[in-house]
């Protein structure tokens, strides 16, 4: 046991005493550490391959990576022991210096812990399309520090795990379908039953709109220049599905309203002049 007055430097010097070491000790240590690294890589590959068929890909990758880290640490310990290095004093020295190191690496440690939690909680996985802090795209990478998103515009966005775990995450693809609402306004004086029937007939014929759940047409209010409807419909879950279905519905709605003689009004104001009055 180290005296209470022992400094970290004294502890390390005590641990690294290697009297009487020969070449064979160094060779043994090198072989041990190299074998540990090699075994870790093989175990990581085999374990990841075995777990991918049974677990979420992100979780399987995390377990395989942690197992590899553990094997390397064990190999390093045996390698140091082969050199006569005393592990106990080193751990003591690291304990004393660990507090300062933790403060220096606070952001890195925060991202590492957040990355592990994300892979355990699994709010998304590889291939999911999500929105995180106004970034939309496909999840292409999840590790202990970063979440990587490929955006529809061909950009790669890397977000720190600590930021992701605190953010509002919208997973578009998890449930397999999404609903979109298209606001439509018709002119005052329009036959509302005719307008609703026309909108309902238009939306069901649009490409990409799902038959079930059925589309809905709801009157939402009376605006300054129009009577407002909400055309709600379900479509595929991806970002591409969203834009394609919304565009198709808009084209169908415009054509159907035009054919029915229903006007989509533009913002307008009616101004009344009081006229001149005699004094």
Q: Domain segments of the chain: what residues?
A: 8-115, 121-171, 178-259
Q: Do you find a cis peptide bond into 213, omega within 30 degrees of 0? A: yes
CATH placement of domain 121-171: 2.30.30.60
Written as tens digits, the pLDDT of the chain (279 aa) is 445 555 555 554 554 555 555 667 778 888 888 888 899 888 888 888 887 766 667 677 777 888 888 888 888 888 877 777 666 666 665 665 556 655 655 677 777 788 778 877 788 988 999 999 889 999 998 887 889 999 999 999 999 988 999 999 999 999 999 999 999 999 999 999 999 999 999 999 999 999 999 999 999 999 988 999 999 999 999 999 999 999 999 999 999 999 999 999 887 666 777 665 554
Q: How many CB atoms lie within 10 A of CB 23?
A: 7
The domain made up of 178-259 is a member of CATH 3.30.70.100:
yes
**Helices and strands in the chain: count of H runs, count of E runs:** 8, 8
Separation between Cα atoms, residue 186 and residue 20, nearest integer Å = 94
Strands 129-132 and 146-150: unpaired
Separation between Cα atoms, residue 25 and residue 84, nearest integer Å = 9
Q: What is the pTM of this model?
A: 0.65
Domain spanning 8-115, CATH architecture: Orthogonal Bundle (1.10)
């Amino acid at each position: 046991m180290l005296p209470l007055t022992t400094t970290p430097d004294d502890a390390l010097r005590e641990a690294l005493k290697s009297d009487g070491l020969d070449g064979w000790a160094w060779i043994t240590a090198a072989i041990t550490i190299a074998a540990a690294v090699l075994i870790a890589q093989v175990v990581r590959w085999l374990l990841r391959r075995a777990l991918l068929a049974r677990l979420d890909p992100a979780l399987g990758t995390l377990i395989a990576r942690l197992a590899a880290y553990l094997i390397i640490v064990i190999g390093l310990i045996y390698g140091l022991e082969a050199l006569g290095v005393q592990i106990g004093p080193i751990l003591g020295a690291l304990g004393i210096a660990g507090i300062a190191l933790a403060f220096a690496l606070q952001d890195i440690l925060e991202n590492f812990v957040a990355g592990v939690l994300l892979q355990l909680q699994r709010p998304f996985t590889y291939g999911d399309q999500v929105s995180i802090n106004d970034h939309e795209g496909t999840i292409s990478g999840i590790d202990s520090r970063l979440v990587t998103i490929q955006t529809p515009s061909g950009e790669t966005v890397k977000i720190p795990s600590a930021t992701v775990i605190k953010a509002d995450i919208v997973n578009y693809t998890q449930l397999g379908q999404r609903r979109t609402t298209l606001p439509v306004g018709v002119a005052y004086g329009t036959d509302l039953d005719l307008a609703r029937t026309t909108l309902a007939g238009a939306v069901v014929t649009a490409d990409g709109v799902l038959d079930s759940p059925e589309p809905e047409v709801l009157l939402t209010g009376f605006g300054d220049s129009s009577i407002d409807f909400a055309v709600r419909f379900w479509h595929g879950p991806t970002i591409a599905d969203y834009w394609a279905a919304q565009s198709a519905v808009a084209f169908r709605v415009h054509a159907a309203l035009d054919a029915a003689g229903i006007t989509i009004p533009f913002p307008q104001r009616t101004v009344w002049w009081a006229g001149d009055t005699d004094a």
